[in-house]
Structure 1
Amino acid sequence: MTPGDTRPAAPPDAAGVEEAVVADLARLLARMPDPAGSVHGAALERELAATTGVRHAVAVSSGTAALHTALRALHIGPGDEVLVSALSVIMSVAPIVHAGARPVFVDCDPTGTDLDYNDLARKVTPSAKALLPVYLWGRPGDPARLARMAMDHGLAVVEDACQAQGSRVGGRLAGTIGDVGCFSLKDGKVLSSGEGGYLLTDRDDIAQRARSFRSHQQPSPPENGRPAEVGYNYRLAEPLALIARANLARFHTLAARRRHQSCLLAELLTSTPGIDVTDVPARRGWNGYNFLATVALDEPRAFCEHLARRGVPNSVGTFGLIPADQRPALAPFTTAPCPHAAAVVDRTLAVVLTDHDDEQRLAGYAQTISREARQWRP
């Protein structure tokens, strides 16, 4: 991407890619699946590991399954605590509960780009076993600093990088800095297959236990004296693995397109009163997963809801995003409030972007946002 070029790039030979996928799917469906194993799933794992520079990739059925699998591969369960970002979605916290552990919510800094490390330090207890940072909107903060704090306290790091495919910090890809990184392949992600997920790790023991856990503990992992447990059916279906492989082959173009989309909205809205562009991907290694702006208008949350009704999809207005510690279902785990996370969510306009958003649609979003901001009377 050249510095002045914010036009969304079309995926290369998109029609050709679609034709190839359809042909491969036809061949796949023409024969019975091989009960001995997943051909495309295994190939996807090899290609993900090679692309990201890690020793192991383990494909699973969703991003939530990736997080649950990672936690259980680290033997985190009942009686354990996992420190998790309050600035997150419920899907990032549910796997902790599924594992039988207790989520402990950690506030973010006032900008929402990283954790509040003072709050984190206050909440570490002898029961804490892991840190689970969530890179909401694709922004990874400072995973290296988090890793140092984790080492000081003897904690594992499970990175929720589901929205951060392609984001980099200090030259390192998000999701490759902790003990294990977890990703989603759901539609809307930069790399997608409609549904699915995967985890990345350099640790042989985590990879071995994760592969067993995703398939009812078959083959059984060496437990070294630990009691055996029941696994799950978290396998990734072969047709989805095939689609993921096709998109992985053009990931650099898909990632560049997402950055272009975010940069274009930033350029179109830079001078809009009351809409302060938070960041653009060109300034750092952020993947531009959503266009982000700070709403400096009265009742910013109501404004985001208003935009959703006017056809601009966004995290707050369309999906009702609130900090995870404020979710009613997670109330039993909430102790101290996380005020920064609440403030960041309420004032952030995070426009949902997909590969289907062309220049005309994005220009329409910008026109609507600019017009409604100028006319806003809560």
Structure 2
Amino acid sequence: MVRHVVANTLTLMIVALVGVAIIISAGKRQFTGPGPLTQAVCFRVDPGASLRVVSRGLAEQGVIKSEQVFRVGAQYSERAGQLRFGSYLIPEAASMDDILDILTRGGASTCGSEIHYRIGVTRIDTLVRELDPATQRFETVVQFAADEEAPEDYASFASQSDMQYRITVAEGATSWQIWEGVRLAEFLEGDPGELPPEGMLAPDSYAVTRGADRETLLAEMQTRQEAILAQLWESRADGLPYDTPQDALIMASIVEKETGVADERRQVASVFVNRLRMPMRLQTDPTVIYGITEGRGVLGRGLRRSELDAVTPYNTYRIDGLPPTPIANPGRAAIAAALDPDETSYLYFVADGTGGHAFSTNLADHNRAVARWREIEAELREQQQPAE
């Protein structure tokens, strides 16, 4: 009798252990296996949110199937107390293990809203963008210029604790334009300090946080530009008519202002390099304009004959060689073009009506290209005139 009872007890224990093993195995498969999401979603973890609150929110959004399995997996992997607040992109079919890793690894939010502050050549504007989880592309929901009053709904976005901030500086913006843009950014703090040297701020995209120091940000821009210039100077082509990296930076700024077509940069650089070698005056309008505006805004009109005739340090129609400083902040591509221009015989170029330029090796061909451009300009003016 006793032997029978013991045998039954052992059997029940074995069955129970097998059952527990089956449950654990099933839970593990559910924890590490593909999740139920059919398309990516954004999930927000509020500051101080508990594991239970987070697991409930994940289940309500259809991100996980079992709150309990998620919590047990978090505790077993010792990540239960490592949740980081923010908005995170949860990809399609993400496992609970993957989701837990996303919510605990830290770093910047990967989803939600972003305030994108753009410092351009002609304007400064602010965009509030929200990531569409399905396409993983940002969509603009608010936009306004620096000289416009912020819309009412901007404040609600700016008050979000996990809001991401990004500042983008366009190629060809002057140091004053960038300095002024940084000064006007409401989400930055501190004095911007002295105006940085022209050409020494790297046009790029900078991730920042609310309350970041203005002077520190400008210093980072300068550090990046110094590194870019130093790197590209070391790998420069042989025989260039530059004595210093500063000369190359001046040339790069002229190239940057003369063309917005990426494939043309090295050709434009070759024209000016060829002229320096001859020697022949550069004769480029952007340098004259910089001498007038000092980089503090846009001229907004054509150059006058008196301005083209005036002898100034930046009037390359009247001086030999390069102007004394860069005339804008060139991007990496323009610096690379100045330090490795195409090998051409071009000495002239003019707009061709397509957004690019027609290049010529002699004055006769150039004059024909100019005449054609004048015809295109006349046609465009005629098309823009209202019909009587």
Q: Verify same fold: TM over 0.5.
A: no
TM-score, normalised via structure 1 length = 0.27
Query: Higher relative contact order at CA 8 Å, sep ≥6: structure 1 or structure 2?
Result: 1
Larger Cα-atom Rg: 2
TM-score, normalised via structure 2 length = 0.27
